[in-house]
Amino acid sequence: MSATEPVIIRPETHADIEAIEEVIVAAFEDMPYSDHSEQLIVRQLRDAGALTVSLVAESADDVVGHVAVSPVEVSDGSSGWYGLGPISVWPCCQGQGIGSRLMDAALQALREQNAQGCVLLGEPEYYGRFGFVADSGLVLPDVPPEYFQALLLKGEIPGGTVAYHPAFTQASP
């Protein structure tokens, strides 16, 4: 992809599935915190009908990025909360704003679906620019609390333990 090629953000299609998996594998290949199951998580979410939002970034007819959003459960019974991730961009295309565009589009899709909020596990410095903050009332067991962040879209931030879809714990490379 050259800097002059336009990037289009759009919902995934069936024809994108193989390219999405390739992008995810490439994006996480050199990440020391990854267990390299991200593409399997997305596949299992898709197979379970639990991909609330699945968007691709396309440039010159190639998929160069992807973001997945799926429902989460909060132990206090709050509804309308979602987990964002994984988000992936081809390594050669990183640093060009594609990940930011995918984030913005995913959050807009959640707003359009009247979501209450979104959580994610990630780098506070990066995700803070989208409004995500660590909230002591929301807990994801066994992770450093500063890396588990929430974005309130409407209403109030719930309190409790968050559980992602079983695909996040069942997928293994």
Side chain identity at 156, as an amino acid letter? E
Measured in whole angstroms, the distance separating CA 160 from the mean position of its chain's CA atoms is 21
Distance CA 142, CA 162 (A): 11
Q: What is the pLDDT of residue 173?
A: 60
Q: How large is the average pLDDT for residues 112-118?
A: 97
Mean predicted confidence (pLDDT) in 72-79? 97
Which residue from 170, 130, 143, 138 is spatially nearest to 156, judged by alpha carbons?
A: 138
What is the band of 172 on the pLDDT scale with cuts at 50, 70, 90? low
* C-alpha dist (Å) from residue 148 to 16, 60, 103: 29, 35, 16
Residue pLDDT, tens place only, 8-64: 999 999 999 999 999 999 999 988 788 888 999 999 999 999 999 999 999 999 999
Q: Where are the domains of the chain?
A: 7-170
Phi first, then psi: what are they for 10, rounded to 5°?
Answer: -150, 165
- CATH of the structural domain 7-170, one choice from 3.40.630.30, 3.30.565.10, 1.10.1740.10, 3.40.50.2300: 3.40.630.30
Q: What are the beta bridge partners of residue 86?
A: none
The pTM assigned to this predicted structure is 0.92
